[in-house]
Structure 1
Amino acid sequence: MIVSHSLPPLISLRAFEAVARRSSFKAAAEELFVTPTAISHQIRQLEAHLGLRVLERTPRAVRLTEEGSVLYEATAAGFAGIAKAVAHLRVRKDSAILTLTSTTAFLSHWMVPRLAELRRLLPDVDLRLHASDAIVELRSGGVDAAIRYGKGPFAGVATIPLRNDVFGPVCSPRLGLSKLEDLRQATLIHIDGRQVPTPAPDWSRWCAEAGLPNADTRTGVRFPDSTLAVQAAIAGHGVAIVSLVLVADALASGLLVAPFVPVLRGETYHFACAFDLETRPDIVVLRTWLLSVMSGTAGL
């Protein structure tokens, strides 16, 4: 095992590598911003440490000795490796970081299935998703942007509406539900933790809109959020009233069907960012992509 004190001084190795590569004491000195005399001193120190000659000096040229050739091969590879590592670290340090926050339901149902497409548009950006059902402060150097849900606009940030939301009953096609009366025998899935929109898109409101009187909207299974309710519907455990925008992919793939009308209007999805980030290139790309993709979600 080689220990550090057995190696020649790094400054001497650096001087030797430059001389060997440039075949000139003067050129090496200019590259390293020292004098040719300083370079000569470092070479002599290196040779004294090794106890052998690494360079042959003539008035017209500088040549490597046999031992010098062996040393140059190692030092050239070593310094090249160090330069590559430093460049990689600088790229990582300087790479853009874009943090997007939204609700767990939006990120899991809508954003995650489309992440590959967004990463192709932002290949040099470190994209980070932050899930929170609470409103998060947006600022440069922190959480940069958000998908917010509500009437808008939202104070303290730059916002732009993306699309209006709609809610409707969805279920697994395995249940074979098609007629409105089928719902009387179906298991209804309820979501208790929903805070927006108001009034809530629940079963009592939907049945009133659909003209399904005397339906028992109190029974069924209950979940604290829409993410679990959607998974239960996909698994065939019942019928849930959820955002048709969020489950657009599940509807398109046939995991879910929406066999009943009407739909209930919800609030609006908005893109938000700090005012000083509106023109940042990655923010512009993200906002433009969201506007384009969300406007066509499931043809709603």
Structure 2
Amino acid sequence: MPPTRLPPLNALRAFEATARRASFKAAAEELFVTPTAISHQIRQLEAFLGVRVLDRSPRAVALTAGGAALYEATATGFAEIGRVAARLRGTQEPATLTLSSTTAFLSQWLAPRMGELRRLHPQIDLRLHASDAIVELRAGGIEAAIRYGRGPFADAASVALRDDAFVPVCSPRLGIARPEDLRQATLIHIEGRTRPKPAPDWPRWCALVGLDDVDTRAGLRFPDSLLAIQAAIAGQGIAIVSQPLAADALASGLLEAPFEQSLEGETYHFACARDVEDRPDIVALRHWFLHSLRA
């Protein structure tokens, strides 16, 4: 039988990096090319296949159904090729470990700590995958994730890292010190939040402290906590956010948490594919998250 005709290798590499990083720009930086070159390779791949593999939008890229199937194959294939090549060269190069979590967690909590992680664990070749959806964890693909929920998770080995709590935060410039100050404050609402349930919103918080004369419908509205935190830092109002996501801004004094009362959240977990939970880089990364997130 004649060999199966494969898509161009460069196009597959561009697609795999774009799908994994959910960004043309990030894929281009990883492969040392321009975003235009990545876009050209993706169009070449789609022309070869006769189907779309990515849906583009101004803010992000997302896999189509066909693209998801192709990504599973390319991620597994490239990972296996890398492992075999390293073995043939007789090297001890670390396997790439792909970690998935939400954009808010990766940008607000993990990104500022990547330098510390690399200093303490240089043997971990970590790649990040941003997704607000729960992704499948499997060896050779996305192998680990920081998940948020009640846990445990039936499809993965997981360990609880820390319970979450939601607190009102604002710029110190606003001078908010007592719950009664909320009557004149601009409330910041987060509309894109799907967890925890019930939502940690202003009606619940005002009920907690006994404020019944605050218009909890008024104020500014943002689709995610990342934008809400930035608005709070800019002094545009006061927002209810996850403590870990605001930790750095609170520690630096860009934000303050003027009240003691908080709303209960769910739990941050480190999850991984069951067949890699004892792999040395997975164990080291899990221990680092246990220490760093709890601290």
After TM superposition, the score normalised by the length of structure 1 is: 0.67
Structure 2 alignment gaps of length 5 or more = 1-84
Mapping of residues 15-94 of structure 1, within 5 Å: 94=93
Structure 1 residue 91 displacement after superposition: 8.5
Task: Please give the secondary structure, in 1, of the residue aligned with 2:271.
Answer: strand
Q: Residue 122 of structure 1 corresponds to which residue in structure 2?
A: 121
Partner Cα separation in structure 2 for residue 133 and residue 275 of structure 1: 22
Q: Residue 160 of structure 2 corresponds to which residue in structure 1?
A: 161
Task: Please give the secondary structure, in 2, of the residue aligned with 1:246.
Answer: helix
Partner Cα separation in structure 2 for residue 149 and residue 203 of structure 1: 21
Amino acid paired to 2:244: V
Q: Residue 279 of structure 1 corresponds to which residue in structure 2?
A: 278
Q: Residue 295 of structure 1 corresponds to which residue in structure 2?
A: 294
Q: Residue 234 of structure 1 corresponds to which residue in structure 2?
A: 233
Structure 1 residue 213 displacement after superposition: 1.3
Stretch moving more, 219-228 or 171-180: 171-180
Q: Can you list the C-alpha shifts for 1:89-138, whole angstroms capped at 9, x where unaligned?
A: 95999432011100111111110111111111221332111110000111
Mapping of residues 126-137 of structure 1, within 5 Å: 126-137=125-136
Task: Please give the secondary structure, in 1, of the residue aligned with 2:112.
Answer: helix
Q: Residue 6 of structure 2 corresponds to which residue in structure 1?
A: none
Structure 1 residue 211 displacement after superposition: 1.3
Partner Cα separation in structure 1 for residue 108 and residue 204 of structure 2: 24
Amino acid paired to 1:126: D
Partner Cα separation in structure 2 for residue 271 and residue 120 of structure 1: 20
Partner Cα separation in structure 1 for residue 224 and residue 232 of structure 2: 13
Q: Can you list the C-alpha shifts for 1:134-160, whole angstroms capped at 9, x where unaligned?
A: 001111111110000000111110011
Percent identity (aligned): 68
Q: Can you list the C-alpha shifts for 1:171-210, whole angstroms capped at 9, x where unaligned?
A: 0111111122111111100000111101100000000001
Task: Please give the secondary structure, in 1, of the residue aligned with 2:206.
Answer: helix
Task: Please give the secondary structure, in 1, of the residue aligned with 2:278.
Answer: coil
Q: Residue 181 of structure 2 corresponds to which residue in structure 1?
A: 182
Task: Please give the secondary structure, in 2, of the residue aligned with 1:206.
Answer: helix
Cα pair 1:121 1:285 within 8 Å, conserved = no
Partner Cα separation in structure 2 for residue 246 and residue 94 of structure 1: 33
Task: Please give the secondary structure, in 1, of the residue aligned with 2:241.
Answer: strand
Structure 1 residue 255 displacement after superposition: 0.8
Structure 1 alignment gaps of length 5 or more = 1-85
Partner Cα separation in structure 2 for residue 145 and residue 255 of structure 1: 32
Mapping of residues 90-109 of structure 1, within 5 Å: 94-109=93-108
Q: Residue 149 of structure 2 corresponds to which residue in structure 1?
A: 150
Q: Can you list the C-alpha shifts for 1:2-40, whole angstroms capped at 9, x where unaligned?
A: xxxxxxxxxxxxxxxxxxxxxxxxxxxxxxxxxxxxxxx
Amino acid paired to 2:206: C
Amino acid paired to 1:237: Q
Q: Residue 249 of structure 1 corresponds to which residue in structure 2?
A: 248
Cα pair 1:233 1:240 within 8 Å, conserved = yes
Larger radius of gyration: 1
Q: Residue 221 of structure 2 corresponds to which residue in structure 1?
A: 222
Q: Residue 211 of structure 1 corresponds to which residue in structure 2?
A: 210
Amino acid paired to 1:173: P
Amino acid paired to 2:239: A
Partner Cα separation in structure 1 for residue 246 and residue 167 of structure 2: 10
Alpha carbons of 1:187 and 1:90: their partners in 2 closer, same or farther (altered >3 Å)? Answer: farther
Q: Count how many residue pairs are aligned between Structure 1 and Structure 2.
A: 210
* Root mean square deviation of aligned Cα: 1.9
Mapping of residues 192-203 of structure 1, within 5 Å: 192-203=191-202
Following TM superposition, the consecutive aligned residue runs of length 4 or more in structure 1 with deviations greater than 3 angstroms are 89-95
After TM superposition, the score normalised by the length of structure 2 is: 0.68
Task: Please give the secondary structure, in 2, of the residue aligned with 1:261.
Answer: coil
Task: Please give the secondary structure, in 1, of the residue aligned with 2:245.
Answer: coil
Cα pair 2:99 2:144 within 8 Å, conserved = yes
Q: Residue 28 of structure 2 corresponds to which residue in structure 1?
A: none
Partner Cα separation in structure 2 for residue 188 and residue 90 of structure 1: 59
Partner Cα separation in structure 2 for residue 137 and residue 174 of structure 1: 44
